[in-house]
Every structure is written in structure tokens, then in C-alpha cells.
Structure 1
Amino acid sequence: MTDPISGAKRTQEQAVAAWVNRLNEVRLETLFARLERHADDLDEALSLVDAALRRIDLEVVARNRGGVKGMHGFIAEVAEVGVGNARARIVGEAARYGWVNDNGPVDLLRDGVEIQQKFVAAGGRLGLGAIGEHLNKYPDFIRNGGKYQIPADHYETIRDLHAMSATDASKLVAGSGDGPSYRDWLRVRAFFGTGRVDVDSLEPSALDYADVQRGSYTATLESEKDSLRATARSQRADASAAERASIREAGKATIAAGVVEGVTTFVTAVVRKHRAGTPLAQFTAGDWTEVLGESGVGVVKGGVRGASVYTLTNLAATPAAVASALVTASFGIAELANELRTGTITESEFIERAELVSLEAAVSAVSSLVGQAVIPIPVLGAVIGNTVGTVMYQTVSDSLARRECELLERYADEQRLLGERLTSEQERLVDRLRSAASTYVAVLDRAFSPDVETALAGSVALAIEVGVASADILDSDEKTAAYFLD
């Protein structure tokens, strides 16, 4: 049978391929899981916005809750809950907002924090007057950790005015116009100047003041759904980019495969020398140099194998077992080509051995694929399949080789006996031919003798020699007279 060391090395090669293949599988499984999770997150987020839309339609607008002047406040509360929870869900987080809906000091709860919304534009005070009134009624609201939430555009204006110096404020317009006025700056300064409210006690809503009006909330929430879909697309793109085959991962596969094959080559080289009769303790410097040289070549081959398998599996959709077999066959044929160039083997030997190398690599690949399919355990299935398949192939090929040798040997014996028999017959026939030729020449001499009597007797003898029937031979006076006269 084939050397077990060769079989072990082939198994190691397929193990490396199976490991690289497992790396790819893990990466793809992670990608599919992330994509599936993002799809679920998007569905849940969209359903939260739809639920907010239905609630506003049925519980606020249909009931005319808050009337003409106060309806947008209730719309804002429900919309904030829907949008806030949807934005949390799209990134995989749990719902954060809850709608209190009891006309008490708290409108919303977010992660346990009490929130009072003030979507007020009347009086041009950006809702600060409404905050002051609420604080008069509930003076401990801020001390208890409560937050005042105002429209996002109002919050931005208040923050800008609060941070503005008197010099810059003096350059603002005196009255109404585009943007805040100097009077707005004075109101903000006076409000926070009392010390009752800190600017950090305010926070922006997810929506602007105009977004939650009766005529605009539907478009606002539909736009939010579009934004959620855009976020999901971005998440999918990020997930695909993060789990894409990379040069960094290819480098890891190259290094790992090189180390594994280098170690395997080192061990097999030591074992081969030991089996050749050299005890380990008697290894010379030359022996170790040879072993390390082979190990270095093994590291290079392993690195090429790891990089090739990783590249072929990710760019050419080639099964890892097949990719490794291609690399193995390439190495083997390259070595044979070098032997052919140096004259070590003939062209016919090169072709025969190249076919054998390719066949063995193909058997290894198919065995690994079948083993992985039958035993769906990463790497282990491929290793077992390769081992069993290689042993079966070696057993069958060795058996066939023995049968072929027996057939060839039997054929050679038959040809040898046939040759001996034909040689004997040839010699016998040559002797007969030589004797017949001698007799024929002697009879021919007599037939053409100058003496008539001798010639006549010789002619009769010649006719008999060449096979003329005795009845047709004129060997008497009666036959002669009858032939010429009758």
C-alpha cells in the first residue's frame, strides 16, 4: 500500500482546506443572521409607526381630543412614542417610550425618566411660558429627575440664544422677521436667569413643531418610515461590508495553513529518516538541516495553499476540498515538470505520473466532500471522509496493480513459450527445406544432363519430385506412344 506518511499529509491538506471553508461558513452564517435580524428589526419598527398612526387617527383626531388649539399636543405625544420606539427597534434595542395618557404632570416615560412635553408656539415664547406654568404647579418635577421636551426646532433656537453673548444678540433684528429676534434673546435670558430651570433640563423632541399638526402628522410618520427603510439598507450594506472576504482574513488563513503544513512536514521528515534506520539521537547536523529545509518548503506550500483555497472559495465559488486538490495537483505536476527538464524521467513517465497525481488529488477532494456531507461536523467530517476515501483508493489501486502485474507476467510467460515453440518449428522447417532443396537440385541436374538416357530418367524423377501424378508421367514406351500417336 501507499506510504501512510503520504496519506497523513493528504489528510492534513484537506483538514486545512476544511478549516478555511469553516471560516467562510462562519462569516456567512454571521452575515445571514445579521441580515435576518435587521429584517425583523425593520418590520417591528415599521409596525410601531403604523400603530402610532392608527392611535392618532382613532384616539386623538377621531375624538377631537384637545380641540383645535390643543390637538397637536396629543398628536406629538403619540408620535414621539411611536418614532422613539421605532428608532430604538431599528438598531436592535427594546422599546423605550411609554405614553402615560392620564392628563397628569407626566406625559411620557422613557427608560424610567418622566417627561412633560410642551409643544406650544403661542406668545412667541417657544414654550418657555408653558414650562414655567407647569413648574409652578409641580415645583419638584425637575428635582425628581423630570425632563421638559419641546419641538426640535424650538430647542435648537433656545440653545443658540442661551449660548449667545449680549454683543451678538444686539445684532439680531429688533422685531419679528426671519430667525430669532433680540426680544427672543431677552426672554430666554430672563427665563433661565431665575435659576429655576437649567437649560439641560430641556431636551429636543424627535419632531419639529410643524410635524405634528393635524394636517401634517400622516406625512411626517410616512417620512419616518422611509427613513427607517433607509437605515435598514445602510445596516445591510454595513453588514455585508463587515462580513466580506478580506485581505486580513486571507492573511490569517495563509499564516495558519503555512504553520500547520510546516509542522506536518517537519514531523513526516523526521519519521521518514527514523524509519530509514537513523535513530533520532543520531541525527547529524546535515540531517537536521535537511529536515528544516523540507519544513521551510512545507511552510511555503501551506501558505500558498491557504491563500489559494481562501481566494478560490470566495472569488470563484470553488469548494475548499477541490481548491486544495487543485493546489496539491499543481505542486505535484510542477515537481514532475522539473524532473522532466532535468532528464530524470521521460515524457511518457511524466504523463503517467501526472495523471496519477491528478487522480489521487481528485479522490482526496471527492472523499472530503462526501465525508463532510455525511458527517456534518466542521473539519472532522472532511478529515474522516478523506481518510476513508484515501484508504479505499489505495487498497483498490494496489489490488489492481497486483492483478495487472500478474496478467503481464502470465502474458510474458505465454509469449516466451510461444517463441520457443515457433523457433523449434522454424528450425525443423528450415532443415526440411534445406533437404528438399538439395534433392531438387540433384534431380534438376539429372533432368538436364547431356546424356539422353540420364536426362530422361532425371526428367521422370523431377516430375515425381515436383508432385506430378504417376499416370501423367511418360515413363514407358507404351505411355509415350499413346501420348504422341493417339
Structure 2
Amino acid sequence: MKEMVKDQVTGAVIKEINNRRILNEINELTLQDKALINALNEMKGVRTFISTPENILGSEKTKHGEIAEQVEVGITRAKDILNRENPSATFEGVGRTAPEDYLKNGIKVQSKFVNGANNNLKSVLDHMDNYKTFGRDGSYYEIPKDTHEIIEKVFNGENVEGLKGSTRRAILEKIKKIEEESGKSYSEVVRPANSNYSDVQQGNVEKTIKTYEKDLKKENKIKKSNIKEEYKPGLHEGMKATAISALIGAGTSLTINLYKNREKLLRGELTGDHWKEIGVATVKDGASAGVTGGAIYGLTNYAKMNAPFAAAIVSATKGLASLVKDYAENNITESELLELGIIICSETAIVAVAASIGQGIIPIPILGAVVGTIAGSMVNELLNFNKKTGTAIEKQMREAMEKLDKDYQFMVLRIKKQYEALGNLLIAAFNVENNLQLLEESAKVAYALGVEENKIINKIEDLDKFILGS
């Protein structure tokens, strides 16, 4: 029992490590979902702006210019927010007719959405003529993404289908002039916006916003998937759990041994042999606790057991391993192996029953029969020596059952059946990790416990209606 208590302490430590990781994951996923909501609110703001075209500057043919500004700032902010970064684009502090249209990272930006690559560059040069510092002091221009791509191809000598030679020459001349006027490279002065020219036209902008919203949601799914991957149990954390368990085991062993020898310690009578003995025990117990911690970490994260149950399994396995060794060396008989195995697994069964089913289901008068039945099953499964061993265990279990009243026999069999059917469902229902899939897990438990199907809520919309009373 002493060893089992130590294993349960180790299990509690592993549970805390797991819970911290899981809670951090839940927190990160929640923050990411909030980021998506805030990002979509930015696009909602753009939609609100375009819903009153009469307030947009320009004629019907030029209103797309101010629309382009709103879309650019909106999607830039939305992307930053989705990445959980401070929004880099803003209209704050910018006059509606100022030389710049908005700021990005505190830098002035003028948006030029003019039809045609050559015309777009002409518009940039006209603005540079009117504002002698713009494009030279770090400020820059943003033009439609597709227009920028065409200009880049011309600049790099690539072929652009449908583009006349005279237009190509005009584009190259304007690029050269922009560089001469600014004293900077073209790519520093003129940069691509997020949208194409056609995207911001009044007839297309609603579709553009929907596309951006769809892209934001898709990106959010990727980010959440990456978060889940990042917070998966792994080798690094497993080694950390093993190391912590080893330190706790070693520390506990050292404390216990020093306490046992406290009188000699206070009198200064501890010899080198005593310290050596204490040191060996400390290292041995630390190593044992480390192995136990690693095993419990694996069982809780990969076999999906809860920590008390995993610790109980590890305790039983270690105890049975020692018995098997004694049996192999002919130090104990097969009968003693079974009897001692039942004792060890009875302790494990108590923990397993308490963790999996709960005390409310166990009628106290037949507690021993329940524990014995499950313990016998565990011995049979863990030892798994041979058919003869299994038959002997089953015979003992059957004889014990026959000694019970029929009512108690029925109750034991029912509880055992429930235990086997439920498995880890009840554990799962109260497991922090399953807050991520709580509805699904609670529905599984309800099905297993025989709740009528029409009373089980297994859809999120039904849960919303139930909670809201609608």
C-alpha cells in the first residue's frame, strides 16, 4: 500500500502537468477564436461603410478609390488581429483629404486604384508632383495587386499577353521617372495592395468582403490545428514529467530516510556507510519514481486513462512483476502467485472502481465482491501466464460468486458489466481535456447509462436552445 500511495502522488503530479498543458491549450484556442471574432468585426466595419454609398467621396466612377482604402485598412487590420498582433493599419490621425490615405506601421500610405498599369503609374507621378516629400521620406503608394504584378513582369522583361509595345515602353519610362524623383527603388515607392482593381468596384466589393471573411475563417482553422499540434503530449514533456517524478521520488526517499535516522543525525553519529545506504536508497527510489512517472504519463496521454487509474495500473503491474519473478525462481507457488496477485490488484481495483464508476453505484454490503471480481479480472489480464492460470482464477471467482445470495450475484454481475461497458467514459466526462469535446463525451456517457435517446442532447444547436430556453 505504501508503494501504491507513492505512485498515486506521482500520478497527481502527472495529472497536474497534463492539466496545465490542456488548460493552456484551451486558453490558446479560446484566444484564437476571439481573435477571429475581432478580425471579422473589422470586415463588418468595411461592410457598414459601403452600405451608404451616398457618403463615399467621388462620382459613381471614382467611388471605388475610397472603397479601396477602407478594404485595404480593414483586411490588413483583420489579418493582424487574427495573428494576435496589434493592428498595423489605421485611419486615425489622417484627414480625409490629406496627402496620405491611411497609415501602416505609422508610415504614410497613398492608395492609387486607377484602371490600367500605365495610368496607375501616371497617377503616382502626379501625386508626387503635388506633394514634393511624398514617396521620398519613407511614405509610399499602394496600387492594385494585379496591376502591380503586370508592372513587375514588364520591369523584369517578361511577356504580358495583350500589352502593346508602346504601353510597355511607357510603363518602363514611368518606373524610371519614379526612381529619379524619389531617389529610391521603384519597389520601395510603389507596393501592392491586398486587393485587385476589380475587387473594390461597387458591384464586386460585397463578394470581396465575403471572400476575405472565408479566408480568415480558413486561416483560423489552420491556426487552431497548429495550436492543438503544439500542445499535444510529446517526448519533451514526457521527459520533463519523468524528471520531475524522479526528483519527487528521490526527495521523498531522502526525507523519509533522514527522518528515520533523525536521532543519529542530530547527534552526528551517521557514518559513511549510513550516508551511502541513504544515497543508494535515494537514487534507487528516484529512478523508480521516474520510471513510474514516465509510465503514468504514457497511460494518461496515449491510453486516455485518468491519473489515479493509470497510477493504480502501474502499481499493480510493478507488484505483479515482482511476484512473477518470485514465481519464476520457484520462491512462491502458483497458488500463492494468484492469492498475492489478487491482494495487489484488489488495492488497484478499489482505485479503479472509485475513479471509473464512483462510490454511489457500489452497494456497500457487496463492496468486497465487486472489488474481488474486478481484481480477479485484472490479475487474469495482467499475468496472462497460461490457460491453466486463467482457468484457476476464473474458478476462484465463480466459487466466490456462488457463495453470494442470488440478489447480490445479480448486482455484482450488473456492476461488472457496467464497469466494462463504461470503460473510461465517466472518466472522460470529468476530464479537463474533454472540455474540448464535452458535448460528445457527455452524450456517450448518457447512452452508456441507458438515457432515452430523445432526451440526449448531441448537437450544438440543440444545446443552445436548451440553455437559452428557446
| Bin for the TM-score computed over the shorter chain | 0.5 to 0.7
Which one-letter code corresponds to 1:96 in the other structure?
S
**C-alpha displacement at 1:79, in angstroms?**
1.0
* Distance in 1, Cα, partners of 2:146 & 2:246: 60
Residue of structure 2 in register with 1:471 after alignment:
none
Partners in 2 of 1:324 and 1:178 — Cα distance?
Answer: 79
User: What is the aligned partner in structure 1 of residue 413 from structure 2?
Assistant: none
Cα 1:72–1:360 change in 2 (3 A) is same
Alignment partner, residue 306 of structure 1: 293
Establish whether residue 42 from structure 1 lines up as the match of residue 36 from structure 2. Answer: yes
- In 2, the alpha carbon distance for the partners of 1:174 and 1:240 equals 46
CA distance, structure 2, for counterparts of residue 190 and residue 360 of structure 1: 87
Tell me which residue corresponds to 1:130: 123
Task: Find the partner of 2:60 among 65, 68, 71.
Answer: 68
* CA apart distance, 1:352: 4.0
CA distance in 1, matches of 2:353, 2:269: 41
Q: 2:47 aligns with which of 49, 53, 60?
A: 53
| Residues 51 and 64 (structure 1), Cα distance of their counterparts in 2 relative to 1, 3 Å cut | closer
Gaps of 5+ in 1: 1-5, 370-486
Distance 1:74 1:120 in 2: 12
SS in 2 for 1:127: helix
One of 322, 326, 330 as aligned partner of 1:339: 326
Offset of 1:233 from its aligned partner? 0.4
Deviation at 1:206, TM superposition (A): 1.3
How do 1:288-327 residues align onto structure 2 when only pairs under 5 Å count? 294-295=281-282, 297-327=284-314
Matches within 5 A, 1:231-270: 231-265=219-253, 268=256
Superposition pairs of residues 316-465 of structure 1, within 5 angstroms: 316-361=303-348
1: distance between equivalents of 2:161 and 2:216?
A: 41
Quote the Cα distance in structure 2 between the aligned partners of 1:307 and 1:313: 10
Q: Which whole-Å CA distance do the structure 2 matches of 1:261 and 1:247 have between them?
A: 21
The structure-2 alpha-carbon separation of the partners of 1:239 and 1:179, relative to structure 1 and needing over 3 Å to count, comes to farther
- Give the Cα separation in 1 of the matches to 2:214 and 2:16: 38
Deviation at 1:66, TM superposition (A): 1.6
Determine which of 87, 94, 99 is the counterpart of 1:95: 87
| Partner in structure 1 of residue 173 of structure 2 | 186
Give, in whole Å, the separation in 1 of the partners of 2:137 and 2:185: 14
User: 1:201 matched to which residue of 2?
Assistant: 189
Compare 209-218 and 347-356 and name the one that shifted more.
347-356
Q: CA deviation at 1:296?
A: 5.3
Give the partner amino acid of 2:19: E
Instruction: Report if aligned partners of 2:122, 2:174 keep a CA contact under 8 Å in 1.
Output: no
Which letter does structure 1 place at the counterpart of 2:221? R
Aligned length: 353
Contact 2:199 2:205 in 1 (8 A): yes
Tell me by how many angstroms 1:125 deviates: 1.7
Q: Which amino acid aligns with 1:138?
A: Y
State the Cα distance separating 1:304 from its structure 2 match: 2.6
Q: Compute the displacement of 1:302 (Å).
A: 2.1
**Structure 2: distance between partners of 1:213 and 1:178:** 28
Give the counterpart letter for 2:68 in structure 1.
Answer: A
Q: Secondary structure at the match of 1:226?
A: helix
Is 1:175–1:182's contact at 8 Å kept on the other side of the alignment? no
Amino acid at match of 2:81: R
Conserved? CA contact 2:200–2:208, under 8 Å: yes
Alpha-carbon separation, structure 2, partners of 1:178 and 1:304: 76
Aligned to 2:374: none
Amino acid at match of 1:358: C
Cα displacement (A) at 1:32? 0.7
Percent identical residues: 24
Task: Give the 3 Å change call, closer, same or farther, for CA 340–108 of structure 1 in structure 2.
Answer: same
Q: 1:156 aligns with which of 145, 149, 153?
A: 149
Q: Which residue of 2 aligns with 1:146?
A: 139
Equivalent residues of 2:136, 2:182 under 8 A apart: no
Task: Please name the residue that 1:85 is paired with.
Answer: 77
Structure 2 gaps of 5+ residues are 357-470
Post-superposition offset of 1:131 = 1.8
C-alpha distance 220-174 of structure 1, shift in aligned 2 (>3 A): closer
1:339–1:273 distance in 2 versus 1, CA, 3 Å: farther
| 1:31 correspondence with 2:18 | no
SS at match of 1:116: strand
| 1:207-266 residue CA offsets vs partner (Å, 9 max, x unmatched) | 122211222212111110110011100011000000011122112222332343345446
Task: Provide the C-alpha distance between the structure 2 equivalents of 1:94 and 1:194, rounded to a whole number of angstroms.
Answer: 33
Contact 2:145 2:192 in 1 (8 A): yes
Relative distance call for 1:349 and 1:130 in structure 2 (3 A) is same
Secondary structure (helix, strand or coil) at the match of 2:295 reads helix
Question: Secondary structure at the residue paired with 1:42?
Answer: helix
Aligned partner of residue 156 in structure 1, secondary structure: helix
- Once residues 56 and 71 of structure 1 are traced to their aligned partners in structure 2, the CA distance between those partners, rounded to angstroms, is 10
- On the 8 A contact 2:13/2:245 being kept in 1, the answer is no
Distance 2:316 2:268 in 1: 32
CA contact under 8 A between 1:65 and 1:74: conserved in structure 2? yes
Rounded to whole Å, the distance in 1 between the matches of 2:281 and 2:167 is: 81
User: Structure 2 length as normaliser, TM-score?
Assistant: 0.65
Query: How large is the Cα RMSD of the aligned pairs?
Result: 3.7
**What is the alpha-carbon distance in structure 2 between the residues aligned to residue 143 and residue 39 of structure 1?**
41
1:21 partner amino acid:
K
Q: Which has the larger radius of gyration?
A: 1
In the alignment, the residues of structure 2 paired with residue 149 and residue 351 of structure 1 have an alpha-carbon distance, to the nearest angstrom, of 81
Given that 1:42 and 1:228 are in contact with CA atoms closer than 8 Å, whether structure 2 keeps it comes out as: yes
**3-state secondary structure, aligned to 2:24:** helix
- Aligned counterpart, 2:108: 114
Is it true that 1:176 corresponds to 2:163 in the alignment? yes
Paired letter, 1:150: I
State whether residues 161 and 188 of structure 1, in contact with CA within 8 Å, keep that contact through their aligned partners in structure 2. no
